Amino acid sequence: MTASPLHGNPVVKGFYDKRTGSVQYVVADPDTKRCAIIDPVLDFEPKSGATATTSADELLAHIEQQGYGLEWILDTHPHADHFSAAGYLKDRTGAPTAIGEKVVEVQKLWREFYNLPDSFPMDGSQWDRLFADGERFKIGNLDMEVMFSPGHTLCSITYLVGDAAFIHDTLFMPDAGTARADFPGGSAKALWHSIQRILALPDSTRLFVGHDYMPGGRAPQWESNVAQQRRENSHLVKAATEEEFVALREGRDRELPMPKLILNALQVNIRGGRLPEPESNGRRYLKIPLDALPGAPWGD
């Protein structure tokens, strides 16, 4: 049975986090003023170990200013370059958190990296809901649909709502190409197929990316559409077949150092955006496994 098409024109506000190049979103039903937050950032300063909620509080201030009611706190995947603020936002608002159901596989994978205790739950219970491919839920009167989009990670999902799609780390803006696929559990082949599903959406579908690294020093951008991506994406115009794309993507990934925060961020993000529990002295600690990612290029 084919699901009915999604209708509506949600109001989308992007919030660019310059420190990590990430884009957070508030997406709202203009009729009911109900909204969701997508991919919120918990601020982290690695040199000092400081955390802050400035970015997340900006989202809440916007929601209050617009008179919205928050229904969902959504992540597209466990991020490798910033901490998720989902846990903080749930504590502040009581709104439910959600992510794709394959996050349990990511938890199992990274549990080994961090040697987490047997008591660490690997069932996704850190979120209120785990979404399957094709599952639908609502923001106000708008239907929202989940599209399984692995490749960047093995649990990545895209959120579709009305004429908008939140495509996280699959496609970037056309001049920046596509996302890397070399993290543990990633796959350039899977990423190609996820991109093809996205590009099969109607040409006018608005596509909202998860990051922008401002190629050429331009101002940050985060919205394109399917027709523009199909016509202009710098990687896809060079690689028109799966074989060509996999060769291009894997070649680029071999030269990329790991994100600066990957080993910091994953231990927070597989916990649903919550920091590790305090130890006996009342402080929280991050645990960095040494030599856990052999072969990764060294960064500057």
Measured between alpha carbons, how far is 112 from 91 in angstroms, rounded to an integer? 29
Given pLDDT bands bounded at 50, 70 and 90, which one contains residue 7? confident
Report residue 289 CA to chain centroid gap: 23
* One-letter identity of residue 60: L
pLDDT in tens, 236-264: 999 999 999 999 999 999 999 999 999 99
Residue 192's pLDDT is what?
98
Is 90 exceeded by the pLDDT of residue 12? yes
Q: Stretch 175-190: mean pLDDT, rounded?
A: 96
Architecture of domain 11-269: 4-Layer Sandwich (3.60)
Residue 155's pLDDT is what?
97
Domain range annotation of the chain:
11-269
83-84 and 97-100 strand pairing? unpaired
Is 60 exceeded by the pLDDT of residue 297? yes
Q: What percent of the chain has pLDDT above 70?
A: 98
Three-state SS at 64: helix
Given pLDDT bands bounded at 50, 70 and 90, which one contains residue 1? very low
pLDDT in tens, 136-170: 999 999 999 999 999 999 999 999 999 999 999 99
* One-letter identity of residue 1: M
Q: Stretch 128-134: mean pLDDT, rounded?
A: 98
Measured between alpha carbons, how far is 211 from 171 in angstroms, rounded to an integer? 9
Given pLDDT bands bounded at 50, 70 and 90, which one contains residue 2? very low
Q: Stretch 217-227: mean pLDDT, rounded?
A: 97
Measured between alpha carbons, how far is 127 from 87 in angstroms, rounded to an integer? 9
Residue 3's pLDDT is what?
59
pLDDT in tens, 36-67: 999 999 999 999 999 999 999 999 999 999 99
Among candidate residues 192, 300, 212, 298, the one with its CA nearest the CA of residue 255: 298
Phi, psi of 185 (to 5 degrees): 90, -5
Given pLDDT bands bounded at 50, 70 and 90, which one contains residue 300? confident
Residue 20's pLDDT is what?
95
End-to-end CA distance of the chain, in Å? Answer: 52
Given pLDDT bands bounded at 50, 70 and 90, which one contains residue 230? very high
Residue 4's pLDDT is what?
64
Three-state SS at 217: helix
pLDDT in tens, 26-35: 999 999 999 9
Residue 6's pLDDT is what?
81
Q: The sheet that has 83-84: what strands, in order across it?
A: 50-52, 41-45, 83-84
pLDDT in tens, 70-129: 999 999 999 999 999 999 999 999 999 999 999 999 999 999 999 999 999 999 999 999
- Distances 85 to 56, 195, 205 between C-alpha atoms, Å: 6, 27, 28
